[in-house]
Amino acid sequence: MLGQLHDLDLHLLRLFVSVVECGGFSAAQGDLGLSQSSISQQMAKLETRLGYRLCSRGKGGFKITPKGEQLLVATRALFESIEAFRHQSNGVAGRLIGEVRLGLSEALDQSVLQRVAEAIRRFRERDESVRIELISAMPGEMERLLLQQRLDLAIGYFSQAQRAFDYRELFTETQHLYCASGHPLFTDDAPDDQALQTCDRVDHPYRFLRSDEPFQGKLCSARSEQVEGTLAFILSGKHVGYLPDHFARSWEDKGLLRAVRQGDMSFEVAFHLARHRAQVPGDAQKAFEEDLLAAFA
């Protein structure tokens, strides 16, 4: 009876299949490159290992036993499984597998999304079988997910104060100070600082971002973390606030928004690709990061 299968057992089983397929010991000599006596000895060794007869050979010719028939079916199934395993294991050797989780900031410009799409296209042309998940979140939420290692990479505007993260700058975004139709500054081509200080501004919760804003009005009764919320406050005609220029452009074209003192009241926001320094990236994460950096190069 066979306990564990060894290489010798597999060799003997292959010999057994060849003998059966050739129709006997004598006929199998050419295929196996062995003498009839050597084949007989090895078949006897296999039968001893198994504890039962596999075939009869004599004046009546070669004939496989009922137990030999069952072993033949089982052996062919075994070799098919081994071959399938070999193909699958060889296929995995150079293939990227697993999952990549990318966080994206809200309200990104179309050109930025096109570059992300280009990175995905590059990655999908690799030999891979990877699930990619895109998660839209605010900077604070993305930093939390990165710290919890629930994101592999994130694209957004960050404080860069997290020593646990590595940052790579990808692009910058211009933000202007806007007011809407109905606001006192909407018809003022060049409001002075005194006029600006009477404006009720929309507060942004990220102090690192707010510190870069040229307009630092003290009157503030509105607060929004999302760009859409900031826009709603501004469109009311009662507040001024900062918006990305690409996001506000369609509203400007409709005559509903106007940039206030564009230039000296504008500023640039740097967007970075961030990842947790302690999180050891797999091959799939490394490859996707390479493709992102290439797309934004």
Last residue of a domain, one of 93, 112, 134: 93
- Residue 202 pLDDT exceeds 80: yes
Q: Are residues 262 and 178 in the same domain?
A: yes
Last residue of a domain, one of 93, 121, 153: 93
The domain that holds 197 is classified in CATH as 3.40.190.290
Side chain identity, residue 142:
M
pLDDT of residue 57: 76
- Residue 100 pLDDT exceeds 80: yes
pLDDT band at residue 207 under the 50/70/90 scheme: low
Q: Are residues 79 and 14 in the same domain?
A: yes
Domain-located, residue 192: yes
pLDDT of residue 90: 59
Q: Are residues 195 and 278 in the same domain?
A: no
Domain-located, residue 1: no
Q: Are residues 65 and 19 in the same domain?
A: yes
Return the SS3 of 262: coil
- Averaged confidence pLDDT in the chain: 90
Q: Give me the helix-helix angle, 245-253 and 227-235, nearest 10°.
A: 30
| Cα dist from 142 to 101, 209, 225, 276, whole Å | 11, 16, 13, 11
Q: Which domain holds residue 85?
A: 7-93
Buried b (16+ CB within 10 A) or exposed e, 23-57: ebbeebbeebebeeeebeebbeebbeebeeebbee
Q: Please give the Cα distance from 39 to 283 (Å, whole number).
A: 48
Q: What percent of the chain has pLDDT over 90?
A: 62
Q: Are residues 158 and 194 in the same domain?
A: no
Q: Are residues 61 and 195 in the same domain?
A: no
Q: Are residues 75 and 217 in the same domain?
A: no
The average pLDDT across 155-181 equals: 92
- Residue 275 pLDDT exceeds 70: yes
Domain-located, residue 130: yes
The domain that holds 114 is classified in CATH as 3.40.190.10
Domain-located, residue 2: no
The domain that holds 75 is classified in CATH as 1.10.10.10
Q: Please give the Cα distance from 123 to 143 (Å, whole number).
A: 25
pLDDT band at residue 271 under the 50/70/90 scheme: very high
pLDDT of residue 194: 94
Side chain identity, residue 170:
L
Q: Are residues 87 and 144 in the same domain?
A: no
Q: Are residues 159 and 49 in the same domain?
A: no
Last residue of a domain, one of 58, 93, 128: 93
Domain-located, residue 123: yes
Q: Are residues 165 and 287 in the same domain?
A: yes
Q: Are residues 206 and 252 in the same domain?
A: yes
pLDDT of residue 89: 65
Please indicate, yes or no, whether the overall pTM of this predicted structure exceeds 0.85.
no
pLDDT, tens only, 168-177: 999 999 999 9
Q: Are residues 205 and 240 in the same domain?
A: yes
Of the candidates 16, 14, 43, 39, the one whose C-alpha atom is nearest the C-alpha of residue 29 is 39
Contact 177, 246 (CB under 8 A): no
State how many domains the chain has. 3
pLDDT, tens only, 39-57: 889 989 998 888 899 988 7
Beta bridge partners of 100: 132
pLDDT band at residue 235 under the 50/70/90 scheme: very high
The average pLDDT across 254-274 equals: 95
